[in-house]
Structure 1
Amino acid sequence: MESQPVTAVDVAIIGAGWYGLVTARTYLRLRPHANVTIIDSDSTVGGVWSKERLYPNLVAQVKLGFFNYSDTPMPGQGATRSQLVTGTMIHDYLSKYAADHDLLRRIRFNTTVERAVRCGTRWRLSFKDSKDVMETGKLIVATGVTSKPHMPVAAQTTNSLTVPIVHSRDLGTSYSMLQSEKIQNVVVVGAAKSAYDAVYLLLSLGKKVTWIIRPDGAGPLAILPMELFGRFNSIAVASTRLMTYMSPSILNTDGSLYRFFHRSRLGRWCVGMFWDTVTYLSHRHAGYGDGDHVAGLTPEMNNKRHVFG
């Protein structure tokens, strides 16, 4: 029986996205001579922001300065008129980060980890469509929650019908096909952020879009305004320390501000008024009251309990 080739490393990191890259860099800062290998199924770094997943008008809805590593500012070239970060900017930023910190040579691209088994004090990894085996002393999983597409089962009405089915994950690689004039009508299934992005992209291509959202579940994703009160970026507001007191959290239960906002009548009234105002601004921005077709996108909430953000 032919033995399987085994590669031994000190640390194996699955995923070359935001967390995989910074994990590798941090570990190497502490142990510069460690044998660290990053494994990723794509052909470039970035995870959800890899080159294969990019397409025109893909924007992160985050202002420049709020979507980068704390020690590495993101260059402003390519930002939108409102200083929003684009998908291309994020991919280029992560690619440069990997190159600057000598991580590219440590990445094994186009490789999918199929199985990870504990063998004594080490881990043994096997890969899809490969006989290679990797053994590592430490295993770090940084695959995120949006790496594996969930495809619905679509029944064909006739054997000769061939309708292309594309997951939002593959909009980048399918962009050229979607541009074709032969494709005029497209059905989008789902109500998460990727569905909103897909609908917007298809409408910008001049397609007729039918949007299907299942009746059960939590309803569509909330449409938040890019700016609050006409001047403050929503993500920037959410990143302030004050916001840690606007929502109850078991990680923040001490201090005079906490006692004011959550244990006094005036403070609780202020918290309630803040979220009522944000809700009003969000509903007005989204235009939920402009017609039945938009009203159907209103997020569903359980009225029997209070929801603070």
Structure 2
Amino acid sequence: MECYDLVIVGAGLYGLVSAATYHRIHPNSSILVLEAGPTLGGPWAPHRTFPGLKTNNLWGTYQIPDFPMGEKRFGVSKGDFVPAEKVYEYLCAYANENDIKRFVRVDTEVQSIEKMEPGWKLQCRSSTKHPAAAIPIPGSNPGQHKEEEGEGEDASALVITTSKLILSTGLVTTPNIPSYPQSPTFTSPILHSKSFPSHHEALSTSPTPTHTLVIGAGKSAWDIAHASATAHPASTATMLIRPSGNGPTWMAPPYVTPFRLWLEKLVFTRFLGFMSPCPWAETRGVEGVLRRFLHGTRIGRAVVGAFWTILGDDAIGLNGMGEGGDEQVKKLRPWRGAFEVGNGLSVLNYREDFFALVRAGRINVVFGEVERFEGEKTVVLKGGQSFDADAVVCATGWRRSAALFKPRALEKELGLPTDQPLDEDEAAVVNRVESEILARFPFLKTRDSSRVHHPDPSLRHAQIVDSGKQPYRLHRFLVPLSDMEDRSIGFAGAMMTLGNTFCAYLQALWLVAYFDGTVAMASAPPEQLQHETYLVTQYCALRHAMGYGNQFPDLVFDSLPYYDALMRDLGFDGKRKGTVFGMRNWGAECFRSYGPEDYIGLVDEWKRKLEVDIEGKKNV
């Protein structure tokens, strides 16, 4: 049995930043980061990426505040999307320079987690003999690492205990693969999008053209369809969009509106964030006045409705999906309005013009459901249409829970997604906060959330059946209400936001303060914390009909107010655009975008703050 002060599960962005932040504040604490894959990086690890895959972020917005992604050092340029291999290189460099690589143990799968008094016990299966990871740093000799670190040992059971635990396994870990009838002679591979990287090499080295069926219409489906259609000069792909789903995701160029404004920056502009009803946003001062006008008056709600219509129409027009556009391209028009998008919102970051491939027939768009797979490679759809596919890729999302906690009842206690029914008191809380949200933000009740552009008019108002699970119910989207006294567990990255790097940074610092008992929340009564937690998580469930809020927090225009809330808890001012004549610069605050650069040095500020507090207590 091994024992640590802190164990972090997952060595992606959120896990690495959590480890580095804890280590900077507690340099003498024992830390272990467990990673099921062969290296760090999470979804950016080499085994989970393929050539041509890039971030949806242009250079400058995907970097951890205290660790800039230098153009010369990492070979990236201003105005470019960051290639997947550069993100991996950057995360490896971050781990090295923050001296946390030695804490990472790869090829180690957590099989179960149990509550102890105090702390947690993890049952693991590991093929890495030593605590330090055999991480193949870009440019190094992987074989040398394997020999030195003992990688390749037979898998063995491992028991680990810890007083503090952070789950940073993310939301894209356990694939969701539909089950279809299949003849025994069907030979085309059927795989989830997570496994597509291993298949991409076969497509790109095939001497003959291939046809790939991609089931889904989210960003990963677009990425895979593009990669499949461009793997060979004559290869093609079919995007199968299921009528029972949410339809094509919202895609936009990186620069939008006639003024060529940077879309990603717009999302983090405070003024445009005012257009989203947000229960955790500041209600005092100028921001409070604007929000009360926009969401509390009929004129204001009319302005909000017009804003979302204009924003959506602009993206539709830029993509050529409006009247007079190509009929195949128009099939990719989102079915719901722009207000409903959530983190389905994405950016056209491809080397080739995606829509040119559609117009040329290289990517075919079909509405339908798979009925069965027959013959050697024939796909039969409901309704009788059939075609051959050399591979089938299910870009069909992810399961919500890996069911790690034992007993299963612990999942509900920890506020994790669960299909266990609500008790009477919990149901009353949910009903109460939902009524409060709709009364405070009538736009959520009156806006049209239907699939208004669904190709089948009879299905435009049909409800999509949910699995019946409750969403995450975590305070600040980070910690369970049941852990407030012990302060022993947190969930980093159990949400979606377009600003992942600075969100990871703020969440990591908040969690360290939470574990240390120095975050401003201890005085709040349990009833208040429960009401607040259920209010904000239920808002997420109501906010995006096309997003994932009914599963986990899905933040786009609500991200900046969330970061403000974390900052307030830590005793920092979230408004960081400076002052004019000793007063807050509201012009810059409203219209200048936020990014990683606005949060540089917070960890050091926090350390200085702790030193002052300790010195003050000594003097007393």
Alignment TM-score, normalising by the size of structure 1: 0.89
Q: 2:290 aligns with which of 254, 257, 265?
A: 257
Q: 2:67 aligns with which of 64, 72, 93?
A: 72
Pairwise CA distance, 1:291: 3.4
**2:2–2:161 contact (8 Å) kept in structure 1:** yes
Distance 1:225 1:262 in 2: 29
Q: 1:151 aligns with which of 169, 174, 177?
A: 177
Q: Secondary structure of 1:166's match?
A: strand
Q: Which moved more, 1:186-195 or 1:230-239?
A: 230-239
| One-letter amino acid of the structure 1 residue matched with residue 123 of structure 2 | S
Work out whether 1:234 is the aligned partner of 2:283: no
The 5 A counterparts of 1:1-309 are 6-76=1-71, 77-79=74-76, 82-128=79-125, 130-157=156-183, 159-179=184-204, 180-181=206-207, 184-206=210-232, 207-229=235-257, 230-252=259-281, 254=283, 255-264=288-297, 267-289=300-322, 290-301=325-336, 305-306=447-448
Q: Which moved more, 1:31-40 or 1:73-82?
A: 73-82
Pairwise CA distance, 1:306: 4.3
Relative contact order, CA 8 A, sep 6+: which one is greater? 2
Superposed CA offset, 1:212-263 (max 9, x none): 1211122221112211125222111101222321211111252233234334
Distance 2:318 2:157 in 1: 54
Pairwise CA distance, 1:81: 7.7
Q: Which moved more, 1:55-64 or 1:94-103?
A: 55-64
Superposed CA offset, 1:91-118 (max 9, x none): 1111110110111111010111111111
Report the number of matched residues. Answer: 303
Structure 1 residues 296 and 8 mapped into 2: Cα distance closer, same or farther (>3 Å)? same
Higher helix share: 2
**2:41–2:91 contact (8 Å) kept in structure 1:** yes
Structure 1 residues 264 and 7 mapped into 2: Cα distance closer, same or farther (>3 Å)? same
Q: Secondary structure of 1:25's match?
A: helix
Pairwise CA distance, 1:54: 2.1
**2:58–2:78 contact (8 Å) kept in structure 1:** no
Distance 1:270 1:146 in 2: 36
Gapped regions of structure 1 (runs ≥ 5): 1-5
| One-letter amino acid of the structure 2 residue matched with residue 293 of structure 1 | Q
Q: Secondary structure of 1:22's match?
A: helix
Q: Which moved more, 1:6-15 or 1:160-169?
A: 160-169
Percent identity, please: 31
Q: In angstroms, what is the RMSD of aligned CA positions?
A: 2.3
In our comparison, the structure showing a higher alpha carbon Rg is: 2
**1:7–1:135 contact (8 Å) kept in structure 2:** yes
| One-letter amino acid of the structure 2 residue matched with residue 299 of structure 1 | P
Alignment TM-score, normalising by the size of structure 2: 0.46
Q: Secondary structure of 2:64's match?
A: coil
Distance 1:176 1:194 in 2: 17
Pairwise CA distance, 1:183: 6.0
